[in-house]
Structures are given as structure tokens and as C-alpha cells.
Structure 1
């Protein structure tokens, strides 16, 4: 039976490219493009999809807050990751004059990643955010908007028949996005694993240090730590932490149990 992989659509998004990269060497699969990150999660929880792909963080603009919030709120498991080099292209409709462009359409992350270019070449142009780069391309084409340009992938331009003006960022610029693969089960250890946690520490001096000290004392390499507002009280945060190793590794399992004794909230996101 084919594995169904849901992703932030429509066709032509970078998340679609990540889905292709994830499943390239795997068994038969089918792809399910969806309009929002929330729909991707719902498709997994309701069994419409076996896996879901969402962007988590970018090397230029940092984390995708919506994805972090989903990980806090929903009972899904991180089952893998894909890191893609991102190259944005600027497109217009056939017959449009780039000198008359007044709007730039794209996903908020893409607009932020390319803002220095946009400020230099399109000062005063209005930025129009969309749920994805592919949705931005589809919207401009559907609206026949000759005064709009789109930041999107090369594949997106090909799909929607747009005219490329240029690649926005030089190839030597570091612009990578980490996508996470979400599912309902944690895969077995591979020997090159990463485990993700969410936790809160309450209020008081040294509480975060006490948690981090557990990992340090165990010789566990932390690859990411970030705070996100808990959205209950101003100044209260949820911490997102990545470390090297698998939850089935004795040292990771032991550290998890030790941390659980020290915090009011701990959620294992997966390995």
C-alpha cells in the first residue's frame, strides 16, 4: 500500500521539494498537498496521511513560529528531517513590465529572507503574504495581476507559467531550510539520530541551568535550544530543545527521566 505524504501546498512549494527528497528512496508513495500547516497535522491525526512535511527553521530567518506552536499543541511525532538549500526566484506574468511592479507576493519567510534585495530593487513595493510560495504564484496567476511579482521556487514558476526575472540570492549565500517529517510513531535508531523535546521550567533562579546541566553531565550534544511564548502569561515560555542521539539510547532515556523530575512540563517530540 502506498504511503501518503501530506505537505504544505499547492504544487511548487519548497515543502513539496522536501517531500520529494524525503521519499526519493522509499517505497511507493502518493503526495497530498494541503492549504495550511494545520491541515497537514489534521491529515496525520485523522489517518488521511502517514507522514506530513512542514518547515521548521531557516538559516537566515530562524524558526517558523507556526510550526513550533503546532508541536506544542498537537500530539504528533517528529520522525525525520530534511535540509534543503533554498533558491528563490522572482517571477512576473507573461507580458508584464517589471518596471511597473507594485506588489511582491510570497510566504512571509521568503519575503523576509529576500528583503534586502526587495528594498534595493523594488523600494515602496507592497509585500503581500500568502500561506505558501506556491499559493502566492497561483494567486497572482488567477488574478492576472500584471503589477505583481512572485518570490517562489523555479519549479513553481514552471508549473504556473511565470516569467523568471532573476535568482534573488547569490548561490554562495547560505540559505537553507530544515523541514521536519511528522508522523504517529517514532522510527527505530539509525545510528545518526536527533531527539527533540519541549519543556517549561516555571519561575525561579537557575531552573533552566538545572535542566541543561543534566544533558551536559551526560555528555549529550545539544544542537538547538529556543524559547517560545507559552501564551498564557507574559514572561512564561516553552523551550524547544534538540540533542544528538535516539530516545532508545540509554543515555538519552536516562537524561529524559532526570529532566522530567525537575520540570512541570516535558513533552518528547520524537527521534
Structure 2
């Protein structure tokens, strides 16, 4: 045996010893998690999953990280550990905008880990209804893309729904061109309308003159491409594997930082973590300067507004409501004081929830 072979055997022995310790610690952690669940049950706490606690664990893991693993990998490992431990006592059912293979499912698994039951649904309003009825513990829906803007249907659902925002997921979205044959035989490219828009420049340059057809989801596009050699799909890795398609071109999105934000919805109030957002739904009174009056308290008290969108209220024509995200939690003293002033100034006021900012 050479010197390098002996060195390799020695290093592998160290890895094996570490693996044994890691597995023993994982088992110990799982047993303690079971004790936590039993304690909650005795106290009448029906919520085994707490978004603020998971965010706290993840942030601590990232603070401790000194490499060589990147933060994203460390976060993924700890998410799966928490997901598996939680499933020992109370497996979660997560509704999402389907079918299987969509980026929304990918976001759901990124947030909750693999040890959950996912429930694909055909429309955003169906996701809300499943969670409202108690058939799913939480739902995951898209709300905005860094390139193409907001998903109006999601915003509109909050006007009537009693559900709260319990968390958010930021997912880097990479689009691939998928098919069963060569691009030269293609008659059309199919995908969700937002994905087609996010890849417009690439399609203009590489597939000019080919019909572009909008369908309900990227996963549906992949299904169609799998059934027809003349159809190409724009979708992600999950859809490619699920439908057995070949990746003909990778990362065809026009912006390399293309990111979609998803919301986690449920019937749960989260506790402050120190790194939170609060989402609001407001409309101003019908008088000059109404929007300025609504927003002025935020500026006066140093509350950072990270997003504002307007939508028709659907109560009367030319009446609008504003969806606003601010930094901070509704239980923070400064935020609570400002929200009280906003409520007094607004013709319509609804707090959609305070929740931890997305982690890795």
C-alpha cells in the first residue's frame, strides 16, 4: 500500500467516526424534539410547527458557519433535520399551486423540508380554501417575481380570506429548455406566461418565429412536451426529472438573479424573531393626499417600507387598496404605535400577518 493510499484510508476512517457521532447526535436531537412535542400537547398547544423557532435555528446555524460549506447548503441540512424531527410527531400537509414539479412545490419543500405531505392544487384560490377548511396545515403561493412583478391573484385573495401570512420563501428560479428531441423539430414553446416573459430575450435570439403558448404552469408545459416531440417546454430541474425530459439548454432566464418570492399562508400568529416583516392591506379615505396621509407615519417613525402595490378593491369602480410590506413585527412597540395611527387614518385596514424574513 502506498503512502497516499494509507493517507486516504486514514481520512476515510476519520469520516466514518464523525458520521457515527453525527448519527448519534441526530437521534438524540430527535428524541428531545419528541419530548418538546409531548410537552406542547400537555399544554394544549396544537401548533407543533413554529415558523419563528425554525427561523431562529437557521439563523444561528448560519451565524456559526465558517465554511467550507456555503450558507445555502448549511441551511438546507438544518431544514431537513427539523423537518424529519417534526414529522415524528405531527407530519405537515402543505398545499401548493400545482401540479407536481412546479417552482411553488420547490419553494414549499425548501421551506418545510422533504418530510411533509405536499398537496398539489390547480389554482391559487384552491390553495387558500384547502388551508381555510383545515384540510392542509399551510399553503404556499407565489406573490412576486423580481423581473415580472406581482402575482395579482394572490394579492386579491387576501381581500376576503381570514388566513395570515406565516412566512416567506425566496427562490432563485432557473429556467431550462426541455424536450424529447432536437430544437430544430420544434413547432412551439409552452410555459407559464411569467416564465415565457422571463425568457423573452433568449427566445428571441435562439428560437425566433416559434410559437409561444401560455399554459397553467411549468409542470403542465413539461407534461405537454413529454407527450409531443414538436413541443418544447420551459421549466425547472424538478419538472425535467418528473416527466423524463432532456434539458436542451440551461439557465435561459434573461436575468441571472431571477428570483420569485412565495408566501406561506395559515391560521397562525407568529412571535417576533428580531428579523421580521409585516404585511398590510390599506385603502385611504376619499380626499386629496390620502396615500401620503397613510404613509407619512411610517416615515416619521423610521419604519422601512419594502414594497407597495395597488389593486382594485372590487367594492366600487376606481377604488383601490394598497398592499404594503414593512420591516418589523406587529408586537414591536414602535411598529404597533405606527399601525394604530395607520388604522385610524385608513378607510380600510387589515394586517395580513407578521412573519420571519426569508432565510437563505
TM-score (norm 1): 0.92
Q: Secondary structure of the residue that 1:198 maps to in structure 2?
A: strand
Please give the residue correspondences for 1:1-271 in structure 2 after superposition, counting only pairs within 5 Å.
Answer: 1-24=90-113, 29-93=116-180, 96-141=181-226, 144-169=227-252, 173-271=256-354
Q: Contact between 1:202 and 1:236, CA under 8 Å: does it hold in 2? A: no
| Structure 1 unaligned residues grouped into runs of 5+ | none
For residues 21 and 89 of structure 1, the distance between their equivalents in structure 2, rounded to whole angstroms, comes to 20
Q: Contact between 2:199 and 2:253, CA under 8 Å: does it hold in 1? A: no
Query: Given the superposition, is the C-alpha separation of residues 171 and 107 from structure 1 closer, same or farther in structure 2, using an over 3 Å criterion?
Result: closer
Structure with bigger helix share is 2
Q: Which is bigger in relative contact order (C-alpha 8 A, separation at least 6)?
A: 1
- What is the CA distance between 1:172 and its match in structure 2? 7.0
Q: Which segments of structure 1 move beyond 4 Å, counting only runs of 4 or more? A: none
Q: Contact between 1:77 and 1:183, CA under 8 Å: does it hold in 2? A: yes
* 1:71-111 CA-partner distances (Å, limit 9, x unpaired): 22322110000101110001112xx3311322211111111
- What is the CA distance between 1:234 and its match in structure 2? 4.3
Q: CA RMSD in A?
A: 1.8
Question: Which has the higher Rg, Structure 1 or Structure 2?
Answer: 2
TM-score (norm 2): 0.70
| Structure 2 unaligned residues grouped into runs of 5+ | 1-89, 355-360
How many aligned positions are there? 265
Q: Contact between 1:102 and 1:124, CA under 8 Å: does it hold in 2? A: no
Q: Secondary structure of the residue that 2:159 maps to in structure 1?
A: helix
